[in-house]
Amino acid sequence: MILTKLFLDAAACRREKISDDYSVHRVVYSLFPKTASPSRILYADKGPVQGGRLILILSAVPPRPSSELEISNLVLSERFFGADRYRFEVTLNPVKKDPESGKRKAVTGQLNVLNWFLKHAPKWGFEADANTLEAAVLPTKVFSKNDSEQRFNHVSFRGTLKVTDRKLFRNSVTQGLGHAKAFGFGLLQLSPIQNKQA
């Protein structure tokens, strides 16, 4: 897997017409061939930083080179996935299925989204530390294209985790967590915790 840092300075943001959530999605996907599987392209918009905008991308193939964009790539080795504990951050779209309609509904409320994450963590191959887990409920993400509009509940989680199923955990990292991954959700950003720091 390849971790890419895409930095858009002010000029690049103007040139690429970065004005909303969909424009970020458009730029990210323009870096890959149309034959690339969407499920293998994950990204996280880190927002304005140091006079520009930082976007993290995880993909199975490298993005195409560009003379107009600042792109740096790092290949993640298997060793990266070998730690037992990690610090993490991830943006998710917490939803639950309505028992009557069968449709997905947004999970709302600070305590509810925290419990939602703790409940789902095992199926992603890890256990989240409830004592370090934080959740920031952010403004709804809106993706508008032509006459259609999609809205997504938007929550940023961070804390520490312990791997409980190595294979499942690795798959969750490479495939992403939750729903709406093509729209900037689900990229699990990790920093291994060394034993001496535990």
The average pLDDT across 169-175 equals 94
Q: How far is CA 152 from the centre of its chain?
A: 13
pTM of the model: 0.87
Residues 76-103 have a mean pLDDT of 90
Q: Give ∠ CA 173-39-128 in degrees, rounded to 5.
A: 25
* Percentage of the chain modeled with pLDDT above 90: 52
Q: Measure the CA–CA gap between 123 and 148, rounded to whole angstroms.
A: 33
For the cut 70, the answer to whether the pLDDT of residue 120 exceeds it is yes
Phi, psi of 80 (to 5 degrees): -60, -30
pLDDT for 34: 78
Residue 36's pLDDT band (cuts 50, 70, 90) = low
10 Å CB burial of residue 49 (0-12, 13-18, 19+) is: exposed
Burial 117-153 (b: 16+ CB within 10 A, else e): beeebeebbbbbeeeebebeeeeebebeeeeeeeebb
- Across the range 81-102, mean pLDDT stands at 90
Burial class (CB in 10 A: 0-12, 13-18, 19+), 41: buried
Per-residue pLDDT of 175-190, as tens digits, reads 999 988 988 999 999 9
The pLDDT-based confidence of 197 (bands split at 50, 70, 90) is very low
Q: How far apart are CA 128 and CA 106, in angstroms?
A: 21
Beta bridge partners of 57: 4, 43
Q: Which domains, from first to last, does the chain contain?
A: 2-75 (3.30.70.1200), 81-197 (3.30.70.1210)
User: Does 79 have pLDDT greater than 50?
Assistant: yes
Name which residue leads in pLDDT, 144 or 181: 181
Q: How confident is the model at residue 141 (pLDDT cuts 50, 70, 90)?
A: confident
Average pLDDT over residues 16-38: 84
Confidence of residue 196 (pLDDT cuts 50, 70, 90): low
* Phi, psi for 85 (deg, rounded to 5): -135, 150
The pLDDT score that the predictor gives to residue 195 is: 72
pLDDT, tens digit (0-9, with 9 covering 90-100), for 3-23: 999 999 888 888 988 888 888
Q: Average pLDDT, whole number, for the chain?
A: 89
